[in-house]
Chains A and B, each alone.
Chain A
Amino acid sequence: DQQVKQNSPSLSVQEGRISILNCDYTNSMFDYFLWYKKYPAEGPTFLISISSIKDKNEDGRFTVFLNKSAKHLSLHIVPSQPGDSAVYFCAASAVYGGSQGNLIFGKGTKLSVKP
């Protein structure tokens, strides 16, 4: 059973517009969430994270929102750039449950930003 779900396998947006990538989770023990970006033949690159005590975290063009009651998080990229085209993975861990080294990943969303 998938504990972290990214229901959209792909997303296409126009350059300069907002990209919104969504992620749902089922395990209420998760208390730390991360987004990674991955290019083919490379390891995932860390983008941004959020602790469950927050509902928003920003870093430049990237903002992550967490809705604990809905067990939902989203990554907003504004403005989107062609270089953002990659596969984005949502990941979660139960840090205070002693599983901080174990990230549970969604299956990814392939973002295409068109010029």
Chain B
Amino acid sequence: KAGVTQTPRYLIKTRGQQVTLSCSPISGHRSVSWYQQTPGQGLQFLFEYFSETQRNKGNFPGRFSGRQFSNSRSEMNVSTLELGDSALYLCASSLAQNEQFFGPGTRLTVL
């Protein structure tokens, strides 16, 4: 069974731009969660989607948004990029309330 895939793997943007990241969960998984990993803050929860509905949200500004499609694929969007948004963005999928399986991440660099 294929794992979680994320595209693109690497991205370079400039301040003020917006970016969209994509995540395809493991087949059959309906929950998709997004995390931001930075050296200073570690792994921090952004939001979780289940059956196209946002079920949980972390403590991030409204510039960070997401959505989930009927096939469980998910996208996250960051608008008006700031230097501090440079991070590894990880997507994870899960079957129910069990273990989350992570993708390889998208490395975003904001210049």
- Residues of chain A touching chain B, judged by Cβ–Cβ distance below 8 Å, are 32, 34, 36, 41-46, 49, 89, 91, 95, 98-108
Cβ contact within 8 Å between B48 and A34: no
Which residues of B are found within 8 Å of A41, using beta-carbon distances? 104-105, 107
Minimum CB–CB distance from A21 to chain B (whole Å) comes to 15
Which residues of B are found within 8 Å of A100, using beta-carbon distances? 31, 94, 96-97
Selected contact of B104 from candidates A42, A46, A99, CB within 8 Å? A42
Q: Mark B40-71, 1 if CB is under 8 A from A, else 0.
A: 00111100111000011010000000000000
Cβ contact within 8 Å between A46 and B99: yes
Cβ contact within 8 Å between B100 and A46: yes
Cβ contact within 8 Å between A103 and B100: yes
Minimum CB–CB distance from A84 to chain B (whole Å) comes to 18
Task: With A100-B97, A101-B55 as known contacts, state yes or no: A44 contacts B45, CB within 8 Å.
Answer: no
Does B33 make an interface contact (CB < 8 A)? yes
Interface residues on B, range: 20 to 34
C-alpha gap A105/B44 in the complex (Å): 7
Cβ contact within 8 Å between B104 and A101: no
- Majority secondary structure of chain A interface residues (helix, strand, loop or mixed): loop
Task: With A32-B97, A89-B43, A108-B42 as known contacts, state yes or no: A101 contacts B105, CB within 8 Å.
Answer: no
- Residues of chain B touching chain A, judged by Cβ–Cβ distance below 8 Å, are 4, 31, 33, 35, 42-45, 48-50, 55-56, 58, 90, 92, 94, 96-105, 107
Minimum CB–CB distance from B84 to chain A (whole Å) comes to 18
C-alpha gap A108/B40 in the complex (Å): 12
Cβ contact within 8 Å between A105 and B42: yes
Minimum CB–CB distance from B49 to chain A (whole Å) comes to 8
Cβ contact within 8 Å between A101 and B42: no
Minimum CB–CB distance from A31 to chain B (whole Å) comes to 10
Cβ contact within 8 Å between A102 and B104: no
C-alpha gap A41/B104 in the complex (Å): 7
Q: Which 8 A-B pairs have the closest CB atoms?
A: A101-B48, A43-B102, A100-B97, A105-B43, A107-B42, A95-B97, A102-B56, A46-B99
Which residues of B are found within 8 Å of A107, using beta-carbon distances? 42
